[in-house]
Amino acid sequence: MPKTLKIGIIGSGGIAVSCHMPGYASMPELCEMVAVCDIAKEAAEAAAKKFDVAKVTTDYRELLADPEIDAVSITTPNAFHKQPTIDALRAGKHVLCEKPLAMNAAEAKEMCRAAKEAGKILQVALQTRFGGPARFVKTFIDNGNMGPIYYARAKALRRRGVPHWGVFIDKEKQGGGPLIDIGVHILDLTLFFMGYPKPVSATGKTWDILAKDKTVKNFWGDFDRDRFTVEDFAVGLIRFEDGSVVTLESSFMANMEGDPFETQLFGTKAGAIVRAWGDNPVSIYKEIDGQYFDLSPQNLPRVESSHVAEVQAFVDAILGGKPSPVPGENGLVLNAIFDALYRSSETGKEEVVDVSL
């Protein structure tokens, strides 16, 4: 019988209560949540009550000082990922940190170094790769059915979807807008399929025109336009060391049809469009005996919740002595790409992507 892991939760907002904590609660035979921390005591108490967690604190250092705790989830705003993660790793805890890993690549590098020095798992919470469509497509690619993927189009677009809660519109606490909030998911999924090639440069452009226009309606509810300091739309072209290229589009607001969240892969043997959810989320395009085929796999792996699945993978890696399911270095790659895209938008030039540790 494996050891029962003791888990601490740092940050008890919506992502903790709706994603991380249900994940741990799904496997009581393997882990137990023993402490919840939040600077808002009422929020911590509410989360603890919902999941029957005994200890509540407003100081994460107090939680980390508890020798009983083996691992923590860090579900704070982006600006408060770095220090709790580093402190937790140095305290001997494994860490599952919400995406993006950090505000920028410099912070991400510190976090990755801390994990390496501590010999502990640092996992980035990028749940999309744990869904059924992603699992099928990754296996399909790894089995050689698509050949090398030399180009991809990644899209995480909302027509009118600015979050009016939390700190999503505050650059100082969030680090960026849709690029770093939802673009991170579709870019991770794309690079996951491609084997995470090493990026070398990126060109990008961001806008905040629609979000600053007080006459433009936000279907998700109104927000303070005067406090909006992030982009509402971002595009980029990313070049990789192996010669492959990815284009990325991400928006909170755009005059367009629907809210596409998908990646289109161009391989030498086949192509594919992959969506994280919805009916027929995977379409494959290939040529067989001189005929063109559009294929729709019908028996994709069933995953009830990719959020729960990512937490289960974290616990399994700890108990099984396995590598991080989503290593911190993947988070560093994403942060470094975003840094270059934001710089490029300001300079109008192609910018170097630095992923060196």
Closest CA to 286 of 172, 82, 146, 167: 146
First to last CA, the chain: 38
- Is residue 1 predicted with pLDDT exceeding 80? no
- Tell me the C-alpha distance between 310 and 131, whole Å: 9
Helices (H), the chain: 14-15, 21-25, 41-50, 60-64, 82-90, 105-118, 132-142, 171-174, 178-181, 183-193, 209-212, 306-320, 328-347
Question: Mind listing the domains of the chain with CATH numbers?
Answer: 5-127+307-326 (3.40.50.720), 129-303+335-352 (3.30.360.10)
The Cα–Cα gap between 352 and 344 comes to 9
| 105-162 pLDDT per residue, tens | 999 999 999 999 999 999 999 999 999 999 999 999 999 999 999 999 999 999 999 9
Q: How far apart are CA 118 and CA 71, in angstroms?
A: 13
Residue 184 pLDDT more than 80?
A: yes
pLDDT of residue 34: 98
pLDDT band at 18 (very low <50, low <70, confident <90, very high): very high
Across 13-23, average pLDDT? 97
Tell me, what's the pLDDT at 2? 59
